[in-house]
A and B are shown apart, each in its own frame.
Chain A
Amino acid sequence: MTLLMGAVAYDAKVVTIWSGFRAWLRRQGLPFDFVLYSHYERQVEDLIAGRIHAAWNSPLAWVRARRLGVARGEPVHPLVMRDTDCDLRSVVAVRADSGIERVADLKGATVGVGAVDSPQATLLPLRHLHELGATVEPRLFQVGVGLHGDHVGGERDAARALLAGEVAAACMLDANHLLFTQEGTLPAGSTRILTMTAPYDHCNMTIAASAPRDLVEEFGGLLTGMSYADPEVRPLLDLEGLTQWRPGRATAYAALEAAVDATGFYDPAGRVTATAYDP
């Protein structure tokens, strides 16, 4: 039997990454293959239907897979995640000269967010603002709907809109705020971080209940055994954005679960209930 994994082709590099991992894993003796999806919803549905054994899932895809699995009595579990998937935060940035000093100052203001399905640029920061008591008017920057925010374009567009004065604040991943300031999208000193979410986790390798246990165990062992000092896998780790695979954990998705419930993105059984969401 071959362990079959799904991955979403949010960028051309996904082919390079998983073709490279596939070759490496097979050389280590693991019968492994992968299939690519154009969006996360179909990948999750196929995982739960048993058409694939593992899914390289966004945090939102994890939430849906968990709900679908529980609803059908076939719970999924996270096998591994990247070191860079742990303890992320989202930030709400304002223009440095905006005069917005407190979250309360955003009341009624237009806030730029990412795509409707972006955990880091839409669901989590909007939930965070709501919890702090700020009622804002979100303006979606819809790039790559169905990719769960993997495409950075929506966040970059929101950042540009912030600079242009089209929105009062913009929501983005902390790492993307760093990226935008370093690449010059947000010039030095042009923005301030008004507030940040609590830490949360990002992607994980979600395993279906029906997956062959021995192959899954071997898969996890091989991934966590990859060393950044190995010149053969290092370019792939660099492309995938990690220095180390870690054992998966499901303990830091509560905020996203709450955001999904609050927005009605999925129902408790994992059905897509978001309106105007058509990946």
Chain B
Amino acid sequence: MTSRTADLAGIGFDQGAQVILRRELALLPPGGRLGVIGTHDALVAHLAAWCRREGHALTVPPDGDPGGPDTPGGPVRAWIVPGPATRGRWAGAERAGGVDPSQVVSRPAAHWGLAARGALVEPGGPPSPFDLDRKEVVWADLAPALYAQAAARQWDPATAIDWDCAFELPAEVEAAVVQVMTYLVENEQAALVVPARLLARVHPHFREVTQLLAVQAADEARHIEVFTRRATLRGDELGTSSAGGRASLTSLLAEPDFSLASFLLSVLGEGTFLNLLSFLGQYAPDPVTRRIAALAHQDEARHVAFGVAHLAEQARRDPAFRGRLRGAIERRHDVLADTAGINEHVLDALTLLAAGSWSPRAVADGHAAVQRLQAEMFEGRRNRLVHLGFPAGEAAELAALHTRNFM
């Protein structure tokens, strides 16, 4: 029988003796025994109790085995022969894929649960409740890079915006800004809830996707904060919220399918919002609003990029996938057919912001600018649909079915 010895000196189990012993036992070859040397008063009593709990056999020589050349610390107080329990616990253990994104598996096991990707997973344990557990459903090769970019570009609402900069606006222009901000807040609330709900369903094995969704939700939380803060910068009363606008947003929450929810929210909704935020960057009457629009735009562009990348990969793999996307647009269109669409107060506010004043000429210019905005939104949606593989004609037809509420 191969023997090793471990010299604990004066360390007892109240000071971590078990940590040393576990290491020494792990180094022991199968069939070996470990001699324990040490001077702690309670060493043998605690060794007996510890070995019993761990399933190890312990023999205690009445007066200790005399020390030899390899036991300079003194006599061996007890011998441990490891039991099968420690090895038994890890007998069927398996690696949960690999750390690197290239080692993501197609279908992570439910019992891997919350284990880190790449960890050695003890068999057993409860199955995890994550139903989005197929790589082809949630993964995009771009996710790790997008997450890294998202983490690097987080901004602090308190410092990224000069809230104290001086500007004065006519009351009605300020009211238009407040109306647009009110509208943005309710849209961003939907944009927060959708990824947050999906996030809780994605198997943690797809770590970069959950991280990206978490940052996306955090982005929206910041947007809600800054839009609210801008809306109340000069007063404390917000604008209106229309039933039609809320109906449009509520229909986003009803989509349980990961890809279709991502399609409706990120590709079509947030894609459309990119144009709206660019519009505000151009026409907003004050530097605070323009800065907010620019910061939100950079975040939303990332959300759109993930949605497009994820869906493009699926569409490449499965040509029938586009049929499902089409169905999702048509279903949502039908659901919203009898609703009023966008809040008129929002369109009027956008027109006034682009006009800059109430002169008939300025209003006509503003109206034209809002029409251009809607045309650009349409073009953006059409282009993204073409990118997903839709023929140009069909892409245009579907782009036109998108909600009139923009999001």
Interface: A231 (CB within 8 A) = yes
Using A186-B14, A229-B92 as known contacts, say yes or no to A243 and B49 having CB atoms under 8 A apart: no
Chain B residue with the shortest CB-CB distance to A232: B124
Q: Mark A74-93, 1 if CB is under 8 A from B, else 0.
A: 00000000011011110100
Interface: B52 (CB within 8 A) = yes
Using A87-B52, A175-B53 as known contacts, say yes or no to A235 and B85 having CB atoms under 8 A apart: no
Q: Which residues of B contact A91 (CB under 8 A)?
A: 45
Report the contact-size class of chain B (Cβ under 8 Å from the partner): 20 to 34
Complex alpha-carbon distance, A232 and B92, angstroms = 12
- Residues A192 and B41 in contact, CB atoms below 8 Å apart: yes
Complex alpha-carbon distance, A27 and B46, angstroms = 38
- Residues A229 and B88 in contact, CB atoms below 8 Å apart: yes
Complex alpha-carbon distance, A177 and B49, angstroms = 9
- Mark out the residues of chain A between 159 and 177 whose CB falls within 8 Å of any chain B CB in the assembled complex: 173-175, 177
Q: Which residues of B contact A193 (CB under 8 A)?
A: 41-42, 45
- Residues B15 and A174 in contact, CB atoms below 8 Å apart: no
- Residues B53 and A228 in contact, CB atoms below 8 Å apart: no
Using A88-B52, A177-B45, A193-B42 as known contacts, say yes or no to A243 and B85 having CB atoms under 8 A apart: yes
Chain A residue with the shortest CB-CB distance to B122: A231
- Residues A174 and B45 in contact, CB atoms below 8 Å apart: yes
Give the distance to chain B from A200, nearest Cβ to Cβ, in Å.
13
Partner of B52, one of A83, A177, A181, A231: A83
- Residues A89 and B45 in contact, CB atoms below 8 Å apart: yes
Q: Which residues of B contact A187 (CB under 8 A)?
A: 14
Interface: A234 (CB within 8 A) = yes
Give the distance to chain B from A119, nearest Cβ to Cβ, in Å.
16
- Residues B12 and A181 in contact, CB atoms below 8 Å apart: yes
- Residues B124 and A228 in contact, CB atoms below 8 Å apart: no
Interface: B234 (CB within 8 A) = no
Interface: A108 (CB within 8 A) = no
Question: What total of chain A residues lie within 8 Å of the partner, measured CB to CB?
Answer: 31
Q: Which residues of B contact A234 (CB under 8 A)?
A: 88-89, 124
Q: Which residues of A contact B45 (CB under 8 A)?
A: 89, 91, 174, 177-178, 193, 196
Q: Mark B83-108, 1 if CB is under 8 A from A, else 0.
A: 11101110110000000000000000
- Residues A175 and B52 in contact, CB atoms below 8 Å apart: yes
Q: Mark B54-96, 1 if CB is under 8 A from A, else 0.
A: 1100000000000000000000000000011101110110000
Interface: A241 (CB within 8 A) = yes
Complex alpha-carbon distance, A177 and B42, angstroms = 9
Interface: A189 (CB within 8 A) = yes
Q: Which residues of B contact A88 (CB under 8 A)?
A: 52
Give the distance to chain A from B143, nearest Cβ to Cβ, in Å.
31
- Residues B89 and A178 in contact, CB atoms below 8 Å apart: no
Using A177-B45, A234-B124 as known contacts, say yes or no to A228 and B13 having CB atoms under 8 A apart: no
Q: Mark B9-39, 1 if CB is under 8 A from A, else 0.
A: 0001111000000000000000000000000
Q: Which residues of A contact B123 (CB under 8 A)?
A: 231
Q: Mark A214-246, 1 if CB is under 8 A from B, else 0.
A: 000000000000011101101100000101100
Q: Which residues of A contact B155 (CB under 8 A)?
A: none
Complex alpha-carbon distance, A234 and B85, angstroms = 10
Using A188-B15, A228-B85, A243-B83 as known contacts, say yes or no to A175 and B49 having CB atoms under 8 A apart: yes
Q: Which residues of B contact A232 (CB under 8 A)?
A: 124
Give the distance to chain A from B17, nearest Cβ to Cβ, in Å.
10
Interface: B358 (CB within 8 A) = no
Give the distance to chain B from A22, nearest Cβ to Cβ, in Å.
18
- Residues B53 and A188 in contact, CB atoms below 8 Å apart: no
- Residues B52 and A189 in contact, CB atoms below 8 Å apart: no
Chain A residue with the shortest CB-CB distance to B90: A229
Give the distance to chain A from B32, nearest Cβ to Cβ, in Å.
19
Complex alpha-carbon distance, A83 and B55, angstroms = 7
Complex alpha-carbon distance, A232 and B111, angstroms = 12
11 additional A-B pairs beyond A87-B48, A175-B49, A228-B84, beta carbons within 8 Å, are A83-B52, A88-B52, A177-B49, A178-B45, A186-B14, A187-B14, A192-B42, A196-B45, A227-B88, A229-B87, A231-B92
**Interface pairs A-B: 4 shortest CB-CB:** A231-B124, A243-B55, A229-B88, A243-B85
27 contacts between A and B (CB under 8 A): A83-B52, A84-B52, A87-B48, A87-B52, A88-B52, A91-B45, A174-B49, A175-B52, A177-B45, A178-B46, A178-B49, A181-B13, A181-B46, A187-B14, A188-B15, A196-B45, A228-B84, A228-B85, A228-B89, A229-B87, A229-B89, A229-B91, A231-B123, A234-B124, A243-B83, A243-B85, A244-B85
